[in-house]
Chain A
Amino acid sequence: MKLTKDQLMAALFLAPSLLLIAIFVYGFIGWTGWVSVSNWNSLMPDMSFAGLKNYLYLFGDYRFQAGIRNTIFFTVLFILSVIVLGLSLAILLDQTKKGNAVFRNIFLFPMALSFVVTGVVWQWLLHPSTGFNRFLQVFGIQPKWYTDTNILAGFQWGSIEFGLPVAIIAVVIAAVWQMTGFSLAMYVAGLTGIDEELREAARIDGATEFQIYRKVILPMLTPITMSVIIIMAHISLKIFDLIYAMTGSGANFVTDVPGVYMFETTFRGNYYANGAAIAMIMLILVAVFIVPYLIHSRRGTS
């Protein structure tokens, strides 16, 4: 097949980016995978084959197990809160037309901030001896927030106590404050897309406002909820900056996550092979969510 001049130009337009993605995404993932099965756990690179030694080390490691536990609870609480709060706000704004641009802007602006800024501010707002505790002490409650080392409903699992780490709730609050705007914007866009005639028809059939939301509108928002879950899941599985800026790994690793562990063990401790193994596990966790989503949503649009 002979290429036309236009086809050749199209190939030239695409080539630099494709080359960059091939090397710096796929090539480098392969390279990291290789480092993760090597013996490179000091400053001097040592690429001799170590098998699954680094992975086995991690699975038995207290800090890594704690990080996985924290990630699970963080992800579930974070996604649930972002969806419930975002959807509730979107519906409230849908019903109160007046002034809702102002409210929307207020709920959305944290999205424009850096996780580092969020971390710096919230570490003070949820500081055990100031911030919100100044109000809560009126009611006699003094949560220890991110300094709390308790694990709720815990049971022994591997070398850690598996259960809800109380300290992670403080980080969830900060993350929800920052990211609710995303689900709100998605739901507002979804609600705007729903035909007014549809609601009118339901009203004529005698449905109450509540029934219209539950039976007509919510089912139509399901694809949006799916997108929000996937996008929030990948953000929460690889979270690093918020935790690093707000709490660090915490006493007894109650707020540690794999992203922080990877950074510290690789670049502060020079355990490159261990760091690479953590990174590969993070990648697999994200891919489990993202790959089916990408294939599914691409199929829908082409």
Chain B
Amino acid sequence: MAIRRIIKYAVLIILALFFLTPIYVMLITSVKPLSEVSLSEMWSLPSAIDFSSYSEAFTQLAPNMMNSLYLVIPATLLSAILGAMNGYVLSKWRFKGSEVIFTMILFGMFIPYQSILIPLIQFLNSINLYNSLGGLIFTHVVYGLPITTLMFRNFYANIPESMIEAAKVDGASFVKIFRLIILPLSITGFVVVAIWQFTNIWNEFLFAVTITNNNTQPVMVALQNLSGSQIVQWNVQMAGALLAALPTLLVYIFLGKYFVRGLLAGSVKG
């Protein structure tokens, strides 16, 4: 039995090392001085820690990180609030056809966004929101609705029906029940949804690359430009990748439990 246990742990440790390899390479490369960045020395540790690639990557990416921040905060908040409203109606005030409506909303979560991209750009262009952060915020709110609605609906389904019934008997209205019973119980729900939306919108690329231009690009588009450029050194690319990934990595490290709950909620059944 002891040998079996050792083998099991050995397999786990080897796989864990494999999973951490990209982080190792990103970290050591990003602190290497330019003279040590070469194809043959990818795996070797730097002789001295040099943060110059971070300052260069930061100079290039900082404006875009700010764009991402201005994008993510309103888009997350708005899509979460709308999702909570929908989830409340679709779980506690079901009506004839509400299941069909819910399924039709959910479909929007799975479509390839290429299939709405051309009309979307024509539309944003016609209301002067093309090439703007406002247009991208609007886009993420709309196409975030299915997942936020799903998460809140499943979350509210766990609130006992008897609580709602009792409040109704006491004469509480639809809005009052939402405000006084549902919302105070929604804090975990909001945390899960907010973390999920924050991560997804921060990491999103297709909408970002088609809807924004130089001044309004979020960080992932800027990172892609940085890595696609022939003149940018490899250590700067790695520093840039780490910087761009840092916000969502930090969220995962500190609030991973909620992130995993969001991940599981995305598989429709709840």
Contacts and interface: CB of A to CB of B under 8 A. Distances in A.
Contact of A272 (B118, B123, B145): B118
A48 to B, nearest CB: 16
A185 B114 contact: no
Nearest to B139: A24
A224 to B, nearest CB: 8
B270 to A, nearest CB: 7
A283 B241 contact: no
Given A122-B22, A185-B263, A24 B117 contact: no
B12 A92 contact: yes
Majority SS at the chain A contact face: helix
B143 to A, nearest CB: 7
B85 to A, nearest CB: 4
B191 interface: no
A25 B16 contact: no
Interface string A14-26: 1011101100111
Contacts of A14: 85-86, 89-90, 101
A23 to B, nearest CB: 9
Most chain A CB neighbours (cut-off 10 Å) among B223, B238, B253: B223
B245 A114 contact: yes
Q: How large is the interface on B (under 10, 10 to 19, 20 to 34, 35 or more residues)?
A: 35 or more
B112 A301 contact: no
A111 B253 CA distance: 12
A216 interface: no
A28 B120 contact: yes
A37 interface: no
Contacts of A35: 118-119
B145 A238 contact: no
Most chain A CB neighbours (cut-off 10 Å) among B15, B111, B117, B206: B111
Given A32-B119, A112-B249, A238 B114 contact: yes
B105 interface: yes
Contacts of A276: 118
Interface string B85-121: 1101110010100010111111110111111111110
Interface of B: 5, 8-9, 11-12, 15-16, 19-22, 25-26, 39-40, 42-43, 82, 85-86, 88-90, 93, 95, 99, 101-108, 110-120, 123, 142-143, 145-146, 149, 173-175, 199, 202-206, 209-210, 220, 223-224, 227, 234, 237-238, 240-241, 244-245, 248-249, 251-253, 256, 259-260, 263-264, 266-270
Given A111-B252, A290-B110, A295-B103, 15 more contacts: A17-B145, A17-B149, A27-B119, A96-B5, A112-B245, A112-B248, A114-B244, A116-B203, A119-B224, A124-B238, A130-B42, A185-B263, A231-B267, A241-B206, A244-B205
